[in-house]
Amino acid sequence: MCGIVGCVLNKKAAPTIIDSIKKLEYRGYDSIGIATVTDTINLKKGSGKINEVDSEINLKDIDGNIGIAHVRWATHGNPTKENAHPHCDCKNNISVVHNGIIENYKELRQELIKEGHIFKSDTDTEVIPHLIEKYMMEGQDFLTSVQTTIKRLVGSYALAIISKDNPHEIIGVRNESPLIVGVGENGNYLASDVPAILNETNKVIYLEDKEIIILKQDNVQIMDFDLNPIKKEITTITWNSEMAEKGGFEHFMLKEIYEEPQVIKDTLSESKKIQEIVQKFKKFNRICFVACGTSYHASLIGEYLIESQIGIPTEVILASEFEYFNKTLDDHTLVIFITQSGETADTIKALKVAKEKSETLAIVNVVGSSITREADHVIYTRAGPEISVAATKTYLSQLICIYLLVAHMGENQELLHKLDEISDLSEELLTHEEQIKEIAKKYKFAKDFFYIGRGFNYPTALEGALKLKEITYIHGEGYPAGELKHGPLALIDDNIPVVGILPPGPSYNKTYNNLQEIRARGADIIILGASNDTQIDDVEDKILFNPIIDEIIAPLLYIIDLQLLSYYISIEKNIDPDKPKNLAKSVTVE
Ligand code: F6R
């Protein structure tokens, strides 16, 4: 959460900085701010999305070749202009943007107030410029003051700092929040994530925790917290900024759903690498998945697959709950971390704990992200940049990796063959758009939705409900089909649409009967079924006919209907599906 950018250029920096920070708006959009250095610190900020603030105060109209900017996802302090970053010291000589949380900010703030510092915001961040000011007033230079300051901070932080008295450099710091360096022809860059700088350069240095950077126009120095120099490799990024643009679609979310057939193909091409990795997994007699949100739902499908296809005891633990379940880990347990961003704080924390006792595998989308550098083994999901806050194509790419993993672990050729057909079949789902638009129109006023599925398709129900909540603000609940009669059936009436996931297979009859029980209580039913299913034809209200595939493969296709359904309900409700309120793409706080 929160995105930061900094650049030191051979030209006016603000236009580049604002274009770059726009690429990070998925990380937070509560407020935006920019600061540059000339013979003074120039500052502009406001609450709201970048375009809204820009149209009021013209953010690019600010001089200086060096600058920093921030988009905020509020943690401490309301999303107001006062709380927007950058934050300054008392005399506006130092300016800081921060992603992360300073856990001991209350004590530091009290101490600084006692010493006469004047605070202008409610944020945890503001203690940082005041501490740097304090140490500079005591005679330390800029770098040493930053070093002394970070020794006093407890928590997570990626920082970019400018000083009026040091007008040729930005100091960056990384500790438990993401930060990368871009090395370009017109100067150098700092950013929370690669898409921010791809228009300027594809040469990237990935930073580790506890590193300090001095960024100048023609050079970048990286050192540890004791200021010992560190040599780092420059990585060339192979995807370009266009791949992170909307490409003619109204929203990133729709574009990303349309990319799914290609993403499935690209991820399937990792099959050989996955086959090689699983050769090392023969000794494990227990598997534990750890993840959050959508990645958690992908993990649940992994659990069903491994238990049913390979017979290894498997469990799935939410990363934020992991600390209560890690006591029984041992060297015969493989712990698999699933994460799109590779930067989710809960997942990183769990990985650090798991590593002490067990071998770890990370299934990650963002190359070079923090988790890829912590895990023993890494599989990349090959979905490319996902900009919309709601995960769509990355979920499918995670599922493909999990299916490949299971197929190779179980040497299951039949499953591998079934996977080969999935990309082509997924194209068919995209033809449901018009029908789904009609369903979205009909149900946009619903207050609650139920999604039911059984076995492999129960996690699809959970993921469908999560997508609905995230981008339509309608309450959606995913339930195992057989469990509804144990309580929630009491809620069912003609105001609640129920989505039934009903692919052919051993679970079909039971789920079909559960849907009849619901129908008998007056609910409207939307069925996702196979195109040759004649039983549902005349009984149900709305049917989305899908390719004829067995229930074990259905999670790879049926979710596309549910992603499109949520997308079109959000459009009907005039909500921007790419930027749902209160959410951020990368959740870098616990
Ligand atoms: C939902 C969504 C979130 C993420 C969750 C974990 O659409 O995107 O629920 O899945 O925040 O994020 P990663 O996968 O980056 O660890």
Specify the residue with its C-alpha closest to ligand 1, atom 16.
339
Q: Which atom of ligand 1 is nearest to the CA of 395?
A: 10
pLDDT at 288 exceeding the cut of 60:
yes
CA distance 60 to 291: 39
Residue 538 scores a pLDDT above 80: no
Q: What are phi and psi of 348, to 5 degrees?
A: -60, -45
Same domain flag for 334 and 446: no
The answer to whether 400 touches 268, Cβ cutoff 8 Å, is yes
| Cβ 457 under 6 angstroms from ligand 1 | no
Decide: 125 in ligand 1 pocket, CB within 6 A: no
Which pLDDT belongs to residue 122? 94
Q: Does residue 353 share a domain with residue 221? A: no
Same domain, 250 and 228: no
Residues 481 and 571 in one domain: yes
584 in contact with ligand 1, CB cutoff 6 A: no
189 has which bridge partners? Answer: 7, 182
- 590 and 532 share one domain: yes
Mean pLDDT, residues 121-128: 96
**CB 560 within 8 Å of CB 465:** no
Confidence class of residue 490 from pLDDT cuts 50, 70 and 90?
very high
Give the N- to C-terminal CA distance of the chain in Å, as an integer.
11
Q: For position 214, what pLDDT does the model report?
A: 98
Which domain-ending residue is among 420, 439, 472?
A: 420
562 CB less than 6 Å from ligand 1?
no
Contacts of residue 65, defined as CB under 8 A and 6 or more positions apart, other chains included, come to 8, 9, 10, 11, 12, 13, 36, 187, 217
Q: Are residues 368 and 476 in the same domain?
A: no
Reported as type and span, the H/E element at residue 298 is: helix 293-309
Give residue 293 CA to ligand 1 midpoint distance, Å: 5
Are 478 and 461 in contact, with CB atoms under 8 Å apart? Answer: yes
- Mean of pLDDT values over 196-220: 95
Residue 204: enclosing H or E segment and its boundaries? strand 203-206
Separation of CA 166 and ligand 1 centre (Å): 39
Last residue of a domain, which of 208, 241, 274? 241
Give the mutation target among 26, 256, 290, 294 for probing the ligand 1 site: most ligand atoms within 8 A of CB: 294
C-beta of 347 in contact with ligand 1 (< 6 A) = yes
User: For residue 318, is pLDDT > 60?
Assistant: yes
Domain extent for 9:
3-241
The total number of structural domains that make up the chain? 3
pLDDT in tens, 365-381: 987 788 998 999 999 99
Q: Which of 330-334, 346-350, 487-491 has the lowest mean pLDDT?
A: 487-491
Q: 454: which residues sit within 8 A by CB, 6+ positions away?
A: 480, 481, 482, 501, 507, 510, 511, 514
CATH of the domain at 448: 3.40.50.10490
- pTM attached to this predicted model: 0.79
pLDDT computed for residue 242 by the predictor: 66
Q: Which amino acid is at 106?
A: K
Which residues make beta-bridge pairs with 230?
Answer: none
Which of the listed residues 420, 438, 467 is the one where a domain comes to its end? 420
DSSP secondary structure code for residue 354 in this structure: H
pLDDT band at 401 (very low <50, low <70, confident <90, very high): very high
**pLDDT value, residue 537:** 65
Could you tell me if 231 and 327 lie in one domain? no
Regarding the beta carbon of 589 and ligand 1, being less than 6 Å apart is answered no
292 Cα: distance to centroid of ligand 1 (angstroms): 6
Are 181 and 91 found together in one domain?
A: yes
Q: How far is CA 324 from CA 304, 355, 515, in A?
A: 22, 16, 37
What is each CA distance from 419 to 208, 267, 309, 561, in whole angstroms?
A: 37, 11, 15, 19
For the stretch 246-258, pLDDT in tens is 767 899 999 999 9
Same structural domain, 9 and 124: yes
Q: Tell me which of 200-209, 361-370, 405-414 is least confident.
A: 361-370
Nearest to 370 by CA among 224, 530, 180: 180
Taking the CA of residue 344 as reference, the ligand 1 atom at the shortest distance is: 16
Residues 162 and 250 occupy one common structural domain = no
Could you read off the pLDDT of 570-590 as tens digits, one per residue?
A: 999 999 999 998 887 778 777
* Same domain, yes or no: 411 and 295: yes
Cβ 340 under 6 angstroms from ligand 1:
yes
The CATH number covering residue 200 comes to 3.60.20.10
CA of 467 to the centre of ligand 1 (A): 11
pLDDT score at 220: 98
CB 301 within 8 A of CB 456: yes
